[in-house]
Amino acid sequence: MSRSIKVALAGAGAFGTKHLDAIRLIDGVEVVSVVGRDLGKTKEIAGKYGIGHVTADLADSLALKAVDAVILCTPTQMHAAQAVACLSAGKHVQVEIPLADSLKDADDVVGLQKESGKVAMVGHTRRFNPSHQWVRKKIQAGKFNIQQMDVQTYFFRRTNINALGQPRSWTDHLLWHHAAHTVDLFAWQTGGSIVAANAVQGPIHPALGIAMDMSIQLKASTGAICTLSLSFNNEGPLGTFFRYIGDTGTYIARYDDLFNGKDEKIDVSKVDVSMNGIELQDREFFAAIREGREPNASVAQVLPCYRTLDRLDRQLTGAVA
């Protein structure tokens, strides 16, 4: 594909605008349609980014022959069905994490991708953050082996708000959304499969209907272990912090930044063409489309993560496999 890739973006909220900002930095890509539940706000965003087509219905964007690919930044509960709709319409699709909130739905997307031959990837951004890429390169060079990962994912969301502090129309989930980042990253970085997984959760919020605190233990086939703590009750500091404990050092990743065990900052500015994980993620999506290949974080590559999430969900709910 030599011409410009035409993109529709669904969900112009907190994360959707991050993708719009990233795409501005990528040559040969143009957002031509934006989908949003609130047409007034969506039109404002479209005007800011010079996007000509605005709609409240994804089907309208999929009907546009000019659209080559879709980026879905919609509520979690819509991801799988919308990914199926995109692939069925003959469009490439990038789904923001998570791919689905059930293993069956994730399986359905992977199956349709294989049938369609279209590029379908998931926004497992940690695979693209320069900090985690730096660690991976050290592993691949045989200079570092993970013994343990200790991860904290902490937010303060006792009410249903998004990253911008705005009311949400849907409910977030510690397991199916936030744990997905670490479960996938742990397996990807160790190069093994997850052979043991256990979880416990705290009280269910009376209004939101979700656990606000959770603890997960993982073991990889390489022998490495991972401890993940998640909370929506934490008042600060906020974010996700990854501690890699290995045989030759300790590294702490804070999104796109990296520090050693003495809290000395490591320069990761030369790891990739950008320091922005979302931009690097989008670059991979569009490169895979142009080159006709499977992208890093393809739906097939991340499916084992959702198998593990399903296993943990069954533990937490007492469901029988």
- In order of their start, the domains of the chain are 5-125+277-295 (3.40.50.720), 129-271 (3.30.360.10)
Name the phi and psi angles at 223, rounded to 5: 100, -15
Q: Is the pLDDT at 158 greater than 90, yes or no?
A: no
pLDDT digits (tens, 9 = 90+) for 47-102: 999 999 999 999 999 999 999 999 999 999 999 999 999 999 999 999 999 999 99
pLDDT at 120 over 60: yes
- Chain-wide mean pLDDT for the chain? 95
Per-residue pLDDT, averaged over 181-187, amounts to 98
Tokens representing 258 are: 């990296």
User: Averaged over 8-23, what is the pLDDT?
Assistant: 95
Q: How far apart are CA 178 and CA 172, in angstroms?
A: 9
CA distance 221 to 194: 6
Give, as one character, the DSSP assignment of residue 78. Answer: G
Please provide the DSSP assignment of 124-181 as one string: -GGGTSHHHHHHHHHHHTTS--EEEEEEEEE-B-SSSB-TTSPBPSS---IIIIIIHH
- Residue 234, pLDDT above cutoff 80: yes
Confidence of residue 159 (pLDDT cuts 50, 70, 90): confident
Distance CA 55, CA 72 (A): 14
**CB burial class (10 A; 0-12, 13-18, 19+) of residue 209?**
exposed
What element of type H or E holds 300? helix 299-317
pLDDT given for residue 238 in this prediction: 87
In sequence order, the β-bridge partners of residue 70 are 8, 93
Residue 21 binned pLDDT confidence (cut-offs 50, 70, 90): very high
Give me the residue label for tokens 């009907």: 63
In angstroms, the CA 74 to CA 72 distance is 6
Residue 256 has pLDDT above 80, yes or no: yes
pLDDT in tens, 263-290: 999 999 999 999 999 999 999 999 999 9
> Which comes out higher in pLDDT, residue 157 or 198?
198
Q: Rounded to whole angstroms, how far apart are CA atoms 140 and 166?
A: 41
Query: In sequence order, which residues have a C-beta less than 8 Å from that of residue 79 and are 6 or more positions away?
Result: 72, 95, 96, 98, 99, 100, 101
Q: What is the pLDDT of residue 301?
A: 98
Among left, alpha and beta (phi > 0; psi -120 to 50; other), residue 90 is left
Is the pLDDT reported for residue 321 higher than 60? no
d(CA 286, CA 92): 9
How confident is the model at residue 255, as a pLDDT?
84
From the number of C-beta atoms within 10 Å of its C-beta (0-12, 13-18, 19+), residue 265 rates as exposed
Query: Residue 162 has what pLDDT?
Result: 60
- Contact between 293 and 301 under an 8 Å Cβ cutoff? The reply is no
Residue 165 pLDDT > 80 = no
Q: How many residues does the chain have?
A: 321
Dihedral sign (CA 298, 171, 316, 148): positive
Task: Provide the pLDDT for residue 304.
Answer: 98
pLDDT band (50, 70, 90) for residue 164? low
